Amino acid sequence: MLIGLARTSTLEQEAGLDAQKRALTAAGVEKLFVEQTSSVGPRPALEAAIEFGRDGDTIAVTDLSRLARSVPDFCRIQARLAAKRIELRVLNLGLDTANPTGKLMLNVLASIAQFEREMMLERQREGVAKAKLEGRYKGRAPTARRKAEQVYALADRGVRKTAIAAEVGMSERSVFRLLAQRVLVAGTEDRVATLP
């Protein structure tokens, strides 16, 4: 059976996800697993696809980056597939691990992909360092702090933290952190006010 795996890093990448679904369906995928999550976090669809696969099945992805972010990650996934005797097909490369040449090429390409990513990150770090030296680097805007008053107002009205996160468009973790900091600051101010 040909099993498809489509993945995008964020919910906003609908067009990319649709394109992957179309390509996998056109390739003859019979069962499709879809996820919208970072490749470095939990991968429920990948886990489900591997669990679903049986001896002789093939998992297909449109691009190697949809499967793994690094060579060690790719090697771990490939080892799990090999243990279950599941092959891997990468559509945009025309590679299939059902043959020895495909296995060799896949490992070489995974190494090149990681090298390119590391070079891109190095160039990014150099650019940030240069911008800092020139006084042009501002960093990422602190989203949570900008929305703090809105979070506090909703919390004061008794809105649950999960609902606050959804309404203001930030993670629950950020809401929890803002409210915890508010409690700490208020506690410190109370202690200071009681000093002689």
Pairing of strands 95-96, 87-90: antiparallel
Structural contact between residues 53 and 86, judged by C-beta atoms closer than 8 angstroms: yes
Out of 9, 39, 65, 70, the active site residue is 9
Rounded to whole angstroms, the Cα distance separating 67 from 73 reads 9
- What single string gives the DSSP state of each residue in 44-88? HHHHHHHHH--TT-EEEESSGGGT-SSHHHHHHHHHHHHHTT-EE
Q: Which residue has the tokens 């679903």?
A: 52
Structural contact between residues 179 and 155, judged by C-beta atoms closer than 8 angstroms: yes
- Is residue 9 part of the annotated active site? The answer reads yes
Task: Look at residues 65, 12, 11 and name the one whose alpha carbon lies nearest to residue 39.
Answer: 65
- Residue 37 CB: number of other CB atoms within 10 A? 16
Which residues does the annotation mark as catalytic? 9
